[in-house]
Every structure is written in structure tokens, then in C-alpha cells.
Structure 1
Amino acid sequence: MDFKLLAAAGRLGAMRPDAALAAFVGLSAVTAAYAVQTLAAAPQITLTAAPASAPAATAPPPATTSPPAEPEPFLIFGEPLPGHAVNSPFGLRRMPWEAHGRLHEGVDIAAPGGTPVRAAASGVVTRAGVSFGYGRFVEVRHAADLVTLYAHLGKVERHLKPGVAVEGGSVLGRVGSTGTSTGPHLHFEVRRDGRPLDPAAFMGRRFATVDDLPLKTAARYSRRVRVAQVSVIPKQKQIEMAAREAGAKAAKAAKAGDPKPAAEARASEAARPRAILQFAARPPVEAPPPAMAASAESQAVDAVAELVAEAES
């Protein structure tokens, strides 16, 4: 059809203007009719909008599970003097005034006088008082029959008496130098069933169960005797040291046959201070005059008779 239209258009160019115009109008009509017929025969294409897609379902965020809470520890063991180091450990020790070493049944922690001494763990006070060696002291019983002792205190809190409950970290007293002491410090002991244990094995630790307590480890100590270095020797210990030294010299001199050191030793022994007890004589009790005694006896008889009469009535 397209070739026919082109051929017809070519022939129109050779016609007269009026005839050409008529032929052009007719050709246009034919072309329009052909176009309509072609469109009618073509397949219909329908454009439809895509249905709106439903919003994608969002998965719920994963549930956050908090880690299980840790069980409460069986025993929390703190430090009696936080921030102060042990300067004399648990184990065999010989003091300058001692002839032989012996077990130091705790640890010594040096600190300025008046520093608060705190309970290492919660417990109940079993003793609080004064002794010759420990000076002012407090004893506390804890879980698993552990017992702690705080000695050489300068002051004990007034409310602390046997049976009083204390919390771990609460103040028991103040650092001092009472008893047999070489200066302000705390002597701290841990015991179980009367057996001394190394406090360093417990201090600053938490124990989940009673089986976690380092009982076997804390009971061990080296057999080597450590010589203690002190800056101050108590006066009474100085006297004992002088007497012991004089006695050793006298024994050595006696073997050599020299009597002079023996005499010095006897003089040193005589110079040792001794306690002197004096008892005042009680005045004799004088017997009351016979008349006064008889009067008192009659008054007593009358009083008894009145009581008997009241009871019978």
C-alpha cells in the first residue's frame, strides 16, 4: 500500500493545480482510512497499574536476655586496714628479746595511731577487752567458724560487747600500741577451731562456698625462722634482754673460772624491778557492851514475834 501511495503522489506532480488538489484530498482520505483499519487490526495493549504491594512484615527485634545474676558469695573478706601493707607476715619469727623463734600467729600491719580498724567480714563479737600481750583487742566470729582478732588497739568502740553483730567494714577501734608492742600497728589474726591461719590467704577475697576457703594453704608456713627488725623495744623486754645477757656472761665466766661476770650478773638480777605488795593491818573489832548487846537481842526477838503474829492473822 505504501508503494501505491508514493506512485500516486508522483503522478499528482504532473496534474493541474485544481486536479492535483482534488487528487491530494482523495489520497489523504484513503490514507486516513488505511490508518484506522491498521489500528483496528493491531492487538490492544492495556496498561494497568501494578497493585500496591503490602508493606513487608518486619521481624521483631531479638529479645535481649540479661546474664543470670551471680549468686551471693558465701563470704566476703576485706582488709582491716585498707591501703596499708603487711610489714610482718605469718610464720616463724624471733623477736630481739627472744632466745628462740616461735610462730607469729597473725600479721602485723603498721599504720599511724588513730587509724580506723575495720571488721574484715560480717560477724558477731565474742570478746572485747585488755590482755597483757595483746593490749586492747576485739575478737569476732564469722561464717564457717572463722574467728578474727584485732590487737594492740589504742581504742575499742564502746558499743562492742560479746553478742553484738558487726558488718564487714564497720569500725571496731583505732590503731594503737598497747600490750607488748614495738610501735603503732595492728596485729591481725585468723583462726578456725583454735588453729592459727595465715590472714594473707583471706584478705581482699570473695568465697562462693565454704569449700573455696583456703584452709589447707593458710595453715602452711615456712620452717625458716625470720628475725624481726624493730625500731622500739619495750622497756620490760629491755630488762629481760639485759638479764639474759648477764646470765650468759656469768655462765661463760664460770666455765673460765672468772668470778667477776658472775658478780655482775647477780647485781643485774638484784636490780630488776619487783612488785612489792603491802597489806594494811585491819583494826580489831571491839565487842559491844553487854547492855547494848542485850537490847539489840530483845529488839530482834520482838521483830520476829511481830512477823509471826502478822503471818498467823
Structure 2
Amino acid sequence: MRVSRCVRACVRLVLLVVLTPAALLAPPPPRLSAAAAGEDGAVPAVPAAGRAWPVGVRPRVLRGWEPPATAYGRGHRGVDLAAAPGTPVVAVAAGRVSFAGRVAGRGVVSVELARTGGPPLRTTYEPVRASVAEGEAVTAGEVVGTVEPAGSHCPTPCVHWGLLRGDAYLDPLALLPPWLLRSGPSRLLPVLRVPVPG
């Protein structure tokens, strides 16, 4: 009986000595944002439905998406894109304007994206002087407003671009297909061993 207890105690000690360093050295599991995760803890999928950047061709990202650890925690619930005041702001994908007005003194435009599941994805742009009205249908690349000269929270003029599914904040860059995220111009490769038409 004593030998059995001693063996079990030794096995526990060996496991503790072997597993503790492995647990301490292992990278932490990815932390899902309570603000981004659903009730089951899963982050909702984002289809690459975008067809245009909100501003410019390939704007500089001043600050990326930093999901908060809790619903009311610190973080950055969108992406800040460099944009001068007066720059046109376009809908990244087709949808319907769900809000166009002022929130806390800043102009905000929100577009509910078509065919993105339920609840549908919703993009937000601020500070933007709206040129569309609530309920209006918009196409990808259609101007929804212009960047306002004041109201930006960036050190330089910018547009804050957000993405939500219901109340869950998501990374808006996930809306864009890989070809839109690539930097630099497209390059054509030479075609070899093809006869020149005569």
C-alpha cells in the first residue's frame, strides 16, 4: 500500500517537473476579443466582399485593428487610414446606408453590406460629411461622403473605418481580397515562345 502511494507521488512529481516548464514556455493561445467573439466564443467569418478601399487606391494604415480583451476594454475597434480633409470616401462593397448623421459631434456613415449573411456586416466611416441618406442603396466604389476637416482622433487627418456583425467588432481589412491589399503596381510578365502576330 505504501509503495503504491509512493509511486503515485513520484509520478505526480515527475509530471509536475516535466509539464510545468513546457506550459510556461508554450505560446499563449490566441485571445479572442469578447467584443469580437460570439456567444459560443467563435469569431464570426468575414467574406472578402470589399471591392475598393474607403479612401484612395492604397491608403497608408496609420493604426490597425486591435481587438479589446473585453467588450468595454481598451483597444482599437477599426482601422485608421490616412486621408486629407475633403477626400472622397467610398463604400467598400454594395449595400444600403443604415446611418448617415452625427455622433458625438462627428459625421458618421454606416453601410449594411448586401449578401454577407445574418446579421449582415456593417461598415462605418468617420469623420465623414455624408453625401448619402439613410436607406439609400450604394454600389462598391460609390462616394458616400468626404473626410471632414475636424473630428479625427489621429495625429494626422484620417478616416476611421470600422466593421461590425451585430454588436461584434471585426477587422475591416478582412473585407478586402488579397489583390487589393498588395502594395505596389501590378506588373505584366513577358510571354515567351509565342509568335508575334504578323
Shorter-chain-normalised TM-score: which range?
A: 0.5 to 0.7
Q: Distance in 2 between matches of 1:205 and 1:185?
A: 23
Partner of 2:111: 140
Q: Where has structure 1 moved over 6 Å in runs of 4 or more?
A: none
Contact 1:110 1:186 in 2 (8 A): yes
Asked if structure 2 preserves the Cα contact closer than 8 Å seen for 1:78 and 1:205, the reply is no
User: Which residue does 2:24 correspond to in 1?
Assistant: none
- How many angstroms apart in 2 are the aligned matches of 1:75 and 1:105? 19
Structure 1, unmatched stretches of 5+, are 1-72, 94-100, 207-313
Structure ranking higher in helix proportion: 1
The alpha-carbon deviation at position 203 of structure 1 amounts to 2.2
Contact 1:146 1:191 in 2 (8 A): yes
Instruction: Among all aligned residue pairs of Structure 1 and Structure 2, give the percentage whose two residues are the same amino acid.
Output: 34
Q: Secondary structure of the residue that 2:58 maps to in structure 1?
A: coil
Q: CA separation of 1:175/1:130 partners in 2, compared to 1, >3 Å: closer, same or farther?
A: same
What is the CA–CA distance in structure 1 between the aligned matches of 2:78 and 2:178, rounded to whole Å? 17
Amino acid at match of 1:75: A
Aligned ranges 1:264-283 → 2 under 5 Å: none
CA deviation vs aligned residue, 1:31-85 (integer Å, no higher than 9, x gap): xxxxxxxxxxxxxxxxxxxxxxxxxxxxxxxxxxxxxxxxxx9934421112212
User: One-letter code of the match for 2:136?
Assistant: V
- Contact kept, 8 Å, 1:152 with 1:181, in 2: the verdict is no
Match of 1:174 in 2: 146
Q: TM-score, normalised by structure 1?
A: 0.36
The alignment yields a C-alpha RMSD, in angstroms, of 2.6
Structure ID, larger Rg: 1
Structure 1 residues 107 and 74, CA gap change in structure 2 (3 angstroms): closer
Aligned to 2:33: none
Tell me, in whole angstroms, the C-alpha distance in 2 between the residues paired with 1:105 and 1:166. Answer: 24
Distance 1:164 1:132 in 2: 23
Choose between structure 1 and 2 for higher RCO, CA contacts under 8 A separated by at least 6 residues: 2
Q: Is the 8 A contact 1:132 1:180 kept in 2?
A: no
1:162 is paired with a residue whose SS is: coil
C-alpha distance in 1, partners of 2:97/2:79?
Answer: 20
**Within the alignment, does 1:196 sit opposite 2:169 as a pair?**
yes
Amino acid at match of 2:98: T
The superposition leaves residues 159-187 of structure 1 with CA deviations (integer Å, 9 ceiling, x where unpaired) of x2221000100011112243353442100
Pairwise CA distance, 1:112: 1.5
CA distance in 2: counterparts of 1:107 and 1:199, whole angstroms: 7
Q: Which runs of 5+ in 2 are unaligned?
A: 1-46, 180-198
Which residue in 1 is equivalent to 2:79?
107
Are 1:164 and 2:139 matched, yes or no? no
**Contact 1:78–1:204, Cα closer than 8 Å, also in 2:** no
Name the aligned partner's letter for residue 169 of structure 2: P
State the TM-score, normalizing by the size of structure 2.
0.56
Matching residue's letter, 2:108: F
Q: Secondary structure at the match of 2:99?
A: strand
1:83 alignment counterpart: 58
Number of aligned residue pairs: give it.
Answer: 124
Instruction: Compare the two structures and name the one with the higher strand fraction.
Output: 2
- Residue in 1 that maps onto 2:126: 151
